Structure 1
Amino acid sequence: MKKNNILTLISIIGFILLLLVLNITLGSYKMRIFNLCGIYVILALSLNLINGFVGLFSLGHAGFMAVGAYTCALLTMSPETKEMNFFLEPIVPWLKNVQLPFPTALIIGGIMAAIAGALIGAPVLRLRDDYLAIATLGFSEIIRVVFTNTQRITNGPLGIKGLPTIGITGQSWEIVIWTWGIALFTIIFMVLLINSSYGKAFKAIREDEIAAEAMGINLFKHKMIAFVIGSFFAGIGGALLGHLMGTIDPLMFRFLLTFNIVLIVVLGGIGSITGSVISAIVVTISMEALRILDADMQIGGYIVKGIPGMRMVVFSALLMIVILFYQRGLMGTNEFNWDWIINRKKKIQKI
C-alpha cells in the first residue's frame, strides 16, 4: 500500500510537470481542447457518482451546470461588462456592482448548484428508474426556461458575453492549472469517497436497494448526499466551461449537453472512475479531430468535398463498434491499479 501511494504521488507530480510542458509546446487551439478535456473529466465523474455508483438514472446535469455557470459569470463580471450585456433591460440593482475574485465565485457557483440539487433531489429521489430520469430531465428544462425568461438577471435568450478568463490573471498556464488542477482534485476526491464507508453504501444501494435498507442503510440520505455532491461538481464544471468559452446562453444547457456526458460515462464504464477519465479525454479529442470530415479535403491531386455532419456519423459508428465489443464500457467497473503494472513487469522478467 505504501509503495502504491508513493507511485501515485510521483505520478501526480509528473503529470503537473507534463501540464507545464504541454502549455509551452502546444498551440492555443490544442491547449483549449486539452483544457476542455479536463472540464469533461469533472463533469463525467460528477455524473458517474450519481448514475454509476449509486445506480440512479439522472438526466438533469445540464441544469446544474447552468446554475454554476450563470452564478460564477454574474459574480466575476465587472459592472461595465454587465452594463454592455444588459442593454435591453438593466440588470437587477443587487447584482450590478458585485464583482468577486474567480476562485470565490467558482466555489459559490458550485454551492448554488448543490443547493439546486438538494431542492430538486428532495422530491424526485423517492422515484426510481425511468420516472427519476423523466423528473430530473423536466427540472433541468425548467431551470433552462427560467434562465431564458429572467431578462434582468440572466439577460434572457441573449446570454452573457465577455466573461473573464479562467483564473485571476487569465494567462494560459493558469487556465491549465485551474482546469486540470480541479480535475485532479475531483479524481482524488471521488477515489477517497468511493473507498470510504459512504462509497460502500452507494454500491450497496446500486446492487439491491431492499437488501441495503435491510442492512440499515438510509437510502434517501445516501442518495441525497451523492446527488448534492454530483450537482456541486456539475456546477463547478459548468462555470469552468462558461469561462473557457467566454460566453454562455440558455441554449448551451440543453438536453444534448447532458446526453454527451452520459455518453462519456457509458463509454468509459458505468461505475468506473478510470473509465470516465479515459473516455472524457478520448471523446473530447475525437470530436475535434473528426471535424476535418465536415470540410473539403485534398487527397493527392483530388479535392474531396466535405459533408456537413459527417463527423457525427463517423463518431456514432465508432461508438457503436466500441459498445458492441465492450458492452460494459471500456473499463466496466474496473479501476486502474499499480498492481497491474507491477505484476505484469514481474511476468515479463520471468519470461
Structure 2
Amino acid sequence: MNSMISRDRILTFLALGLFFVFLYIADNHFDEYSIRILINIAIFIIVAVSYNLINGITGQFSLQPNAFLAVGAYTSALLTLTPEEKLRSFILEPLIWPLSEISTSFPVSLLIAGLVTALVAFLLAVPVFRVRGDYLAIVTLGFGEVLQVIANNLVPVTNGPLGLKGLTPYTNLWWSWGLCIFTILCTVRLVNSSYGRAMKALREDETAAQAMGINAFWTKTLAFVFSAFFEGIAGGLLAHLITTISPSLFTFMLTFHLLIMIVIGGLGSTTGAVIGAALITWGGEVLRFVEEPMTIFGHYYEGVPGMRMVIFSILLIFVMLFARSGIMGHREFSWQWLIDNLKRLAGTIRGKA
C-alpha cells in the first residue's frame, strides 16, 4: 500500500513538472489568442471544481456562483486600483472611504477577495440552508439577482452600470494555472477527508446522514464557504484578465454556463468538472469557424452568427443521450486506473498482432 502511495506521488510530481514545462513553452511561443484561451480554461476549471463541491459532492442545488464571482471580482479590482485611478473612474459619485485610499498588490487582493466572498457565503448560509431542493435553488438564484441589482445601484462602491475599467492585466498563465492546480489539490483533499465523506452522505440521503450524527447545516456550510472562497479568487483572476467589469458580466447565464460544465463532466466528480470546464471553454472557441464565410464543394456560404452555439447545443444533447451521468459520472481519475487501462490496451494490441 505504501509503495502504491509513493508511486502515485512520484507520478503526480512528474506530471506537474511536465505540465509546467508545457506552460513555459506556451508562455514563450504561443500567440496571445491561444494563451488567453488557456487562461480562460484555468479560471473556469477553478469555478467548476468549486461549484461541483456544493452541487455535485454535497448534492445541494444552488445557483449562486455568478454572485460569488462578482463579489470576488469587485473586491480584487477595488483593491488593486490606485487612489488616482479610482478618482478618475468614479465620476458619478466618489468611492467611499477607506476603499478610496487602499491599494494592495495583486496576490493580496486575490486572498482578500476569496476571504470576503467566503464571509458573504457564511452569512448567506444561515437563511439558505433552512430550505432544501428546489427551494434552495430559488433562494440562491434570488441572491444572484439581488446582488446584480445592488451592483447597479451601489454607485459609491461599484460605480454602478459604468463598472470598473482600466484594471492592470495581472492574470497570466502562471497565476491562473498555479491557482487552478492549488484549487484542485485542496478540493481533492477535502473530498477524500471525513468531511468529504459526510458531504457525500448528505447527497445520498440527508435524513439518514443526520440520523448517523452528521451535522447537516455545518457540513453544507463548510462546502458552501469553501466553494465561495475559490470562486471569489476566480472572480479576481477574471477581472484582471478582461481588465474591465460591470454588473452585466455576472448574469444568471454565467451560472447556467457553469452548470452545463459540471453536468457534462459528471455531477459529483472533480475530474469530470475539470474535463467539462476544459471541453466547453475550448470547444466554444474551436467552433467559431462555422460562423465564418466558407466554400463547401464549390458553393459559397455566408457565415451565420450564432451557428456555433446551435452546433454546440446539439453536441451537448448527444453527450447527455449517450452518457447520462456525464463523461465521468461519479468516477475519479487515479494512476492505478490509468495503468490498468494501459495494460489492457497493450494486451489487446498484442492479441490482434
The aligned residue for residue 172 of structure 1 is none
SS at match of 2:70: helix
Is residue 39 of structure 1 aligned with residue 43 of structure 2? yes
The aligned residue for residue 257 of structure 2 is 260
Q: Kindly tell me: are residues 209 and 297 of structure 1, through their superposed partners in 2, closer, same or farther at Cα, counting changes over 3 Å?
A: same
Deviations 1:189-225 (A, max 9, x none): 1111111000110101100111111111000010000
Show structure 2 runs of 5+ residues with no match: none
The aligned residue for residue 94 of structure 1 is 98
User: Where in structure 2 are the equivalents of 1:94-243 lying within 5 Å?
Assistant: 94-166=98-170, 175-243=172-240
Mapped to 2, the partners of 1:346 and 1:96 lie a distance apart of: 61
The aligned residue for residue 81 of structure 2 is 77
Mapped to 1, the partners of 2:198 and 2:100 lie a distance apart of: 45
Deviations 1:222-260 (A, max 9, x none): 000000111111111111111101110001110000000
SS at match of 2:300: strand
Deviations 1:163-201 (A, max 9, x none): 11125xxxxxxx111000000001111111111000110
Mapped to 2, the partners of 1:176 and 1:298 lie a distance apart of: 36
Is residue 251 of structure 1 aligned with residue 255 of structure 2? no
Show structure 1 runs of 5+ residues with no match: 168-174
The counterpart of 2:64, out of the listed 41, 50, 60, is 60
Q: For residue 301 of structure 1, report the CA deviation from its aligned partner.
A: 5.5
Q: For residue 25 of structure 1, report the CA deviation from its aligned partner.
A: 2.1
Amino acid at match of 2:253: L
Amino acid at match of 1:163: L
Amino acid at match of 1:315: F
SS at match of 1:303: strand
Deviations 1:85-108 (A, max 9, x none): 111222223222211000001110
User: Where in structure 2 are the equivalents of 1:2-41 lying within 5 Å?
Assistant: 2-41=6-45
Q: For residue 4 of structure 1, report the CA deviation from its aligned partner.
A: 1.2
Q: For residue 294 of structure 1, report the CA deviation from its aligned partner.
A: 2.6
Same amino acid, percent of matched pairs: 47
Count of matched residue positions in the alignment of Structure 1 and Structure 2: 344
Is residue 339 of structure 1 aligned with residue 336 of structure 2? yes
Deviations 1:46-85 (A, max 9, x none): 1000000000000011001100000000000112221221
Mapped to 1, the partners of 2:198 and 2:325 lie a distance apart of: 22
